[in-house]
C-alpha cells in the first residue's frame, strides 16, 4: 500500500499480479525471490523503486515486480536506466539484464554506465547462452561450446564479467549464484546501499538450453570446495570446515591447505573490497575452476562520488552565480536592441 511504513514491507508487497512465465526450474525464479526479500531491507518507499530491463528472458523481470518498471529494447537498459536516475536521483534504480543484453548488443552502454558511476544496481543474469532466441552462444559462452550457431564449437574467447567491469572503472562488483538465495539477498542489499554503479553477476542456470552450465561449481556436493564466498575484512577461506585458503605467491594467487607446508590462518589473504587499487580484486574476479575456486560475494566496493551528485552540484553552483533565472532573463541577455 502507498502509505505503508517502509519498515513494514514484506516480500509480497513487491510481487505484482502478473503470471510468471519463466520455464519451471529456471534460475530466474530464485533471483526474483532474493530481490523481493532484499528490497524491504533497504528502507526505501516502494514508489521510489524503478526496475529497468532490456530484452531477453531475464528482462521480463520488471513485469513481476509491483514497482515502477520499464521493459526496454535489446541492449539499451543501461542507457534507459541512466536517463531515469539522472532525471530523478531520488529513485532507487535497478537494471535487469543478461549476458547477451549487457555484454553483446549493449556492451557499449554497459561500460559507459559503469565508467560514469551513476547509482544504478545492475543485476546481470549470466547463463552463458541466448535463451529467448532458443539456444545460441553468448559472449560469455566457454570457448568450444556447441550451440545452434556454433555447431562445431565456438572459436571466440568469452568475456569475464568481472574483468570487464573492473576494466571499465567499476567500483562495485559482486557475484552470486541463483541457487544461493541467502547470499543473493545479502548481496542485493549491499548493492542497494552502495552509492554508485553496482554490478552483480548472477550465475544462472538455463534449464532448457544450457542446463547444468554452472553445475561444476554450484552443485550441493562440490559447492564448498569449488567456490569461495568473500567477505570484506575476513580471511579468504573455503572448502569443508574452511580447510583451504588463498595466498599471494609472487604476483599470483595460490590455493593452499591449512596445516600443510606450515600454512596457518595468519598466512591467508584478508579480503579488502574497499581497496581502490583493483589488483587483487581483479585476480579474485577472474578465478576459474579447476585451478581456483570461483569467487562469490562482494569482490569490490569502493566509494567515490556519483555522476548525479556531481551534476546536481554543478547545477547548484551555476545557478547560484548566474543572473539568468528564467527564460525572460535568458532571452534578454547579451546583445539586444529596441525598435521603437
Write out the residues near another protein by the rule CB under 8 A: 1-3, 16, 18, 45-48, 50, 52-53, 55, 62-63, 65-73, 76, 78-88, 90-91, 108-109, 112, 311, 314-315, 318-319, 322, 324-328, 330-332, 334-340
Rounded distance, CA 208 to CA 205, Å? 9
Q: What is the DSSP string of 273-318?
A: TT-SS-HHHHHHHT--TTTSPEEEEEEEE-----HHHHHHHHHHHH
Rounded distance, CA 244 to CA 260, Å? 10
Minimal distance, residue 129 CB to another protein, in Å: 22
CA angle 308, 313, 316 (to 5 degrees): 125
Could you check whether the bond before residue 290 is cis, i.e. omega within 30 degrees of 0?
yes
Nearer Cβ to another protein (105/294): 105
| Among 27, 17, 21, 88, CA closest to 52 | 88
Minimal distance, residue 314 CB to another protein, in Å: 6
Burial of 63 (0-12, 13-18, 19+ CB in 10 A): middle
Rounded distance, CA 131 to CA 135, Å? 5
Nearer Cβ to another protein (165/295): 165
Rounded distance, CA 224 to CA 222, Å? 6
Nearer Cβ to another protein (304/315): 315
Nearer Cβ to another protein (26/299): 26
Minimal distance, residue 61 CB to another protein, in Å: 10
Nearer Cβ to another protein (159/238): 159
Minimal distance, residue 321 CB to another protein, in Å: 8
Minimal distance, residue 38 CB to another protein, in Å: 17
Instruction: Measure Cα distances from 13 to 64, 189, 192, 320 in Å.
Output: 11, 17, 18, 42
Nearer Cβ to another protein (46/226): 46
Nearer Cβ to another protein (53/141): 53
Minimal distance, residue 161 CB to another protein, in Å: 19
Minimal distance, residue 70 CB to another protein, in Å: 5
Which residues pair with residue 126 across a beta bridge? Answer: 203
Amino acid at each position: 500500500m502507498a502509505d505503508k511504513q517502509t519498515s513494514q514491507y514484506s516480500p509480497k508487497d513487491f510481487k505484482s499480479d502478473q503470471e510468471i512465465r519463466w520455464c519451471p526450474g529456471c534460475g530466474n525464479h530464485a533471483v526474483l525471490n532474493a530481490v523481493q526479500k532484499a528490497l524491504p531491507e533497504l528502507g526505501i518507499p516502494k514508489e521510489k523503486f524503478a526496475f529497468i530491463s532490456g530484452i531477453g528472458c531475464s528482462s521480463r523481470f520488471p513485469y513481476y515486480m509491483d514497482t515502477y518498471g520499464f521493459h526496454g529494447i535489446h541492449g539499451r537498459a543501461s542507457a534507459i536506466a541512466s536517463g531515469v536516475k539522472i532525471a530523478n536521483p531520488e529513485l532507487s534504480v535497478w537494471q535487469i539484464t543478461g549476458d547477451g543484453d549487457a555484454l553483446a548488443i549493449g556492451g557499449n552502454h554497459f561500460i559507459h554506465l559503469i565508467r560514469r558511476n551513476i547509482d544504478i544496481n545492475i543485476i546481470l543474469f549470466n547463463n552463458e547462452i541466448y535463451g529467448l532466441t532458443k539456444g545460441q552462444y553468448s559472449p560469455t559462452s566457454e570457448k568450444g561450446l556447441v550451440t545452434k550457431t556454433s555447431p562445431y564449437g565456438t572459436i571466440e574467447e568469452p568475456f569475464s564479467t568481472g574483468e570487464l567491469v573492473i576494466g571499465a572503472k567499476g567500483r562495485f562488483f559482486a557475484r552470486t549464484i541463483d541457487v544461493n538465495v541467502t547470499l543473493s539477498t545479502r548481496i542485493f542489499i549491499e548493492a542497494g546501499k552502495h552509492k554508485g554503479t553496482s554490478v552483480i553477476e548472477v550465475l544462472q542456470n538455463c534449464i532448457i538450453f544450457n542446463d547444468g552450465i554452472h553445475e561444476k561449481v554450484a552443485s550441493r556436493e562440490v559447492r564448498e570446495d569449488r567456490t569461495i564466498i568473500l567477505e570484506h575484512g575476513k580471511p579468504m577461506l573455503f572448502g569443508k570446515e574452511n580447510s583451504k585458503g588463498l595466498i599471494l605467491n609472487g604476483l599470483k594467487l595460490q590455493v593452499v591447505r591449512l596445516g600443510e607446508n606450515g600454512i596457518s590462518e595468519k598466512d591467508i589473504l584478508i579480503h579488502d573490497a574497499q581497496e581502490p587499487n583493483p589488483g587483487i580484486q581483479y585476480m579474485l574476479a577472474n578465478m576459474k575452476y579447476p585451478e581456483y575456486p570461483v569467487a562469490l560475494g562482494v569482490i569490490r566496493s569502493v566509494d567515490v562520488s556519483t555522476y548525479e551528485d556531481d551534476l546536481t552540484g554543478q547545477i547548484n553552483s551555476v545557478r547560484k552565480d548566474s543572473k539568468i533565472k528564467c527564460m525572460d532573463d535568458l532571452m534578454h541577455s547579451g546583445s539586444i536592441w529596441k525598435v521603437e
